[in-house]
Amino acid sequence: MDNFNFYAPTYFAFGKGKEAETGKLVKRFGGTKVLIHYGGGSVVRSGLLDRVKKSLDEEKIAYVELGGVKPNPRSGLVYEGIDLCRAEKVDFILAVGGGSAIDSAKAIAAGVVYDGDFWDFYEGKPVTAALPIGTVLTIAAAGSEGSPDSVITKEEGMVKRGASGEAYRPKFSVLNPELTQTLPAYQTACGITDIIAHLYERYLTNSKDVQVTDRMIEALILAMVEEAPKVIENPNDYEARANIMWGGMMAHNNSCGVGRSQDWSSHNIEHELSAEYDCAHGAGLAVTMPAVFTYNMNHDVMRFAQIAVRVWGCQMDFAHPERTAKAGIEALRSFLISIGMPKNFEELGAKEEDIEKLAHMACYGSENATGTVYGFVNLSQSDVENIYRLML
């Protein structure tokens, strides 16, 4: 196990009706003038935004609003949010929504207290300062409610990149599973796929002797695989929603990823798909993961065999462990298809003729790019092209 530091000081208020505590939590963590940042229709239509405002009113906390966050959130709205916060002397950013609203809120929070262009953080500069952030989560997926991460798409060139830093951990997150019950099955499945990707990409490690985190990751994937069909069948299943919501946070707050190298190549290879075609991130991951894992399987057959046996219930083929490893990847693929995820480029709306361009962007698309997607296996542009071809 590698040395590490772990610090996850987010306060979680979990359960039915918990959004009524939002105002008290903003106050507890020092907010006096809030930017409420959200996407659009559903948060307004459901009455959630009004309930959040009411709880702020009750604590006599002032606020301004900025809606309009889109999936794969864009830099343009971030700049707008930064200007608004400065003009209005906002001292606390409250995201109401899913990973997109939260990630956009984080970018605004860092940008407000930074002299340069906020995009610097998405080109590799660590985030060391930001306004305090709170969240009211409406979809179990990104894990951004408990993570130090954010992903933004720059409109110029449609470059999708991540940033990280301790200042990005929310001060509090309200997790009410009821708020996710109105989500359509497709979005629900996209969220579950994202959660599973966060777990697999921690599982695929080159570190040795990481049994305790291996077991935790396997546990969380198992729970997702058990709960997912329940919510696809019955979106109102509160208990399954609750398990997925807490599991989604635990999957990405990194308590199960500490002390081990991680593999973010599926995320990085997928980001080019959602940036180019504006497909759902989870849908892109459903197509990307089996391809990446198949391509990389021989790097550590026993690791893939271990997850096949422990999570997917495959029988270990002791004479041919690679058969077990492959069976586990196929079980993952079948599971993702069973919850309604796309299985290939065509279903995703991606195009074969773009493969070279996509692979080039993945390897050379950012300012500090080196031509390699680093991870469990370090991948060149031609490797990434081969992986995209496995998705056809």
Residue ranges in contact with a second copy by CB under 8 A? 1-18, 177, 208-216, 218-220, 222-223, 226-227, 239-240, 242-244, 246-247, 250, 255, 258-259
Burial of 41 (C-beta count, 10 Å sphere; 0-12/13-18/19+): exposed
Tell me phi and psi for residue 23, to 5 degrees.
Answer: -60, -45
For a second copy, the closer CB: 5 or 368? 5
Question: CA 178 → CA 18, 48, 136, 174, distances in Å?
Answer: 10, 11, 12, 11
Give whichever of 214 and 276 is closer to a second copy, judged by the CB atom: 214
Provide the minimum distance between the beta carbon of 222 and a second copy in the complex, in angstroms, as a whole number. Answer: 5
Q: What is the smallest separation between the CB atom of 221 and a second copy, expressed in angstroms? A: 9
Sign of the CA dihedral running 345, 233, 215, 190: positive
For residues 98 and 70, is the Cβ–Cβ distance under 8 A?
no
Closest to a second copy by CB, 240 or 285: 240
User: With respect to a second copy, which residue has the nearer C-beta, 74 or 310?
Assistant: 310
Euclidean distance between CA atoms 173 and 188, whole angstroms: 19
Residue 12 Cβ, how far from a second copy at the closest point, in Å? 4
Number of neighbours of residue 130 by Cβ within 10 angstroms: 25
Output 217 or 325, the one with its CB closest to a second copy.
217
**Shortest spacing between CB 215 and a second copy, in angstroms:** 4
**CA angle at 298 for the pair 294 and 304, rounded to the nearest 5°:** 70
Q: Least CB distance from residue 124 to a second copy, whole Å?
A: 24
Neighbours of 50 (CB within 10 A): 11
CB of 213 or CB of 266, closer to a second copy: 213
What is the spatial distance between Cα 310 and Cα 288, in angstroms, rounded to a whole number?
22
Smallest distance from a second copy to CB 383, Å:
31
